[in-house]
Every structure is written in structure tokens, then in C-alpha cells.
């Protein structure tokens, strides 16, 4: 049991060091690198789910009155998301350049 725990700690330390080194090579923080991979995993999930235009419109209609958001707030959220996606794409580009993506 002790050797298993030691191996687990050793492996997690190795993973931490690997993440730190890759993040350093890409020029981001380890937290940002982990967030990038979480985004990438979520993006794959979204791409595998197909939704028809009709279903999308039905969902939007079902949400009317439940969520109120001003046009200005919607625009702000849109631009924040756009900036975040640009950041993830830049990390992706750097990882590809290093042969890690």
C-alpha cells in the first residue's frame, strides 16, 4: 500500500512538472493551460451534439421571460467570449508549433 501511495504522489508530481514546463514553453500559466484543455474537451462535446434549427428556436422560445438580459449585456458577453476563444486559439497555435497538439 505504501509503495502505491508513493507512486501516486510521484506520478502526480511528474504531471505537475510536465504541465509547468509545457505552460512555460507556451508562455501561459499552468492554470491557463489546464483551462485550455478543459475548453478543448468541452468544444468536442459540443461539436458531437447536433441540434436542428427548429429545436434551437423552440429552446429559445421556451426561455423567453425566464432570463432577462439587456442588449448591452449580451454584447459584452459576446465580446468576452470572442476574446477568450482568441486566447485559446493562440495557445492551440503555440502547442501545434511545439508539436504538442
Read off the pTM: 0.67
The answer to whether 26 touches 33, Cβ cutoff 8 Å, is yes
Q: What would you report as the CA-atom Rg of the chain, rounded to the nearest whole angstrom?
A: 20
Q: What does the pLDDT read at residue 8? A: 56
What is the Cα–Cα distance from 6 to 23, expressed in whole angstroms? Answer: 26
Burial of 36 (C-beta count, 10 Å sphere; 0-12/13-18/19+): buried
Q: Are 80 and 2 in contact (CB under 8 A)?
A: no
Contact 88, 96 (CB under 8 A): no
Listed in order, strand segments (DSSP E) in the chain are none
What is the predicted pLDDT for the residue at 6? 45
**What is the pLDDT, as a whole number, of residue 10?**
56
* Confidence (pLDDT) at 11: 65
pLDDT digits (tens, 9 = 90+) for 38-93: 999 888 887 777 788 888 888 888 887 777 778 888 899 999 999 999 999 999 99
Amino acid at each position: 500500500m505504501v509503495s502505491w501511495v508513493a507512486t501516486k504522489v510521484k506520478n502526480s508530481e511528474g504531471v505537475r512538472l510536465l504541465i509547468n514546463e509545457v505552460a512555460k514553453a507556451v508562455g501561459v500559466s499552468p492554470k491557463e493551460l489546464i483551462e485550455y484543455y478543459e475548453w478543448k474537451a468541452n468544444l468536442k462535446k459540443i461539436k458531437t451534439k447536433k441540434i436542428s434549427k427548429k429545436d434551437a428556436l423552440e429552446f429559445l422560445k421556451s426561455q423567453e421571460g425566464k432570463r432577462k438580459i439587456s442588449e448591452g449585456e449580451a454584447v459584452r458577453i459576446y465580446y468576452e467570449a470572442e476574446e477568450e476563444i482568441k486566447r485559446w486559439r493562440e495557445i492551440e497555435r503555440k502547442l501545434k508549433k511545439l508539436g504538442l497538439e
